[in-house]
Amino acid sequence: MKNMGLVIGIGVAVLFAVIIIGMYFVYNNREISLRKEAEAQEKKIETVYDKMWKVISQKAQVTSEYKDSFREIYKEIIAGRYENDGSGLMKWITEANPNFDSGVFIDLMNTIEVLRAEFATSQARMVDICREHATLISVYPSKWFITNKTPIDYEVISSTQTKDIVGTRLDDDVEVFKTK
């Protein structure tokens, strides 16, 4: 009978040790996984931002070039039509004139919105990773087992205006089209 109690005691101790060692590995592996995910996410944020500013910049250049080209073409068409014609006003009313296609501007606005949203989503994911990591290293029982409790440092990429608003906790600027 004594041997049976001893065997059960040793079995419970071994099981307890296996559980403790298992928890050590599980929690530390999760911490390492979050840290690696944060490193990868920072690179993704940089990639998304790089793509965003390059695409917006280049589309804006195309839009500007289209506007300038249209202006020049329109001037030449109008000047060539009515230079030596006394009935120009009546022709101008009845003729089909070239139309400026605002589609390039709409495409640019849509691109800005979509790429800005992608950038914001990438940053929001990074904030979630940091939150998840901070929770993991500070709650029980995981905090007993994790060896690297260094927080993941990440500062959200933002604007001066947003930083000022967050600092003052006031957002009174509602004028969309500011007069200079």
44 pLDDT band (50/70/90 cuts)?
A: very high
| 128 pLDDT more than 70 | yes
Report, as an integer, the average pLDDT of 76-94: 59
Which residue, 70, 59, 67, is CA-closest to 107? 59
Tokens at residue 69, please?
């080209």
First vs last C-alpha separation in the chain? 95
Q: Output the pLDDT for position 82.
A: 58
Q: Output the pLDDT for position 97.
A: 64
Report, as an integer, the average pLDDT of 67-72: 83
In percent, the amount of the chain with pLDDT more than 70 equals: 87
Give CA separation, 59 vs 45, 106, 113, 171, in Å: 21, 11, 13, 31
Count of beta carbons in the 10 Å neighbourhood of residue 169: 6
| Whole-number Å distance between alpha carbons of 173 and 165 | 10
Give, as one character, the DSSP assignment of residue 61. H
Q: Output the pLDDT for position 11.
A: 95
CA–chain centroid gap for 109, Å, is 17
Report, as an integer, the average pLDDT of 136-154: 96
| 41 pLDDT more than 80 | yes
| Whole-number Å distance between alpha carbons of 58 and 124 | 26
- Residue 171: strand, helix, or coil: coil
Q: Backbone phi, then psi, for 16, in 5-degree steps?
A: -60, -45
Q: Which residue shows structure tokens 């500013």?
A: 53
Q: Output the pLDDT for position 156.
A: 94
Report, as an integer, the average pLDDT of 18-39: 97
Report, as an integer, the average pLDDT of 152-176: 90
CB 34 within 8 A of CB 133: yes
CA Rg value for the chain: 32
- The model's pLDDT over 148-161, given as tens digits with 9 standing for 90+, comes to 999 999 999 999 88
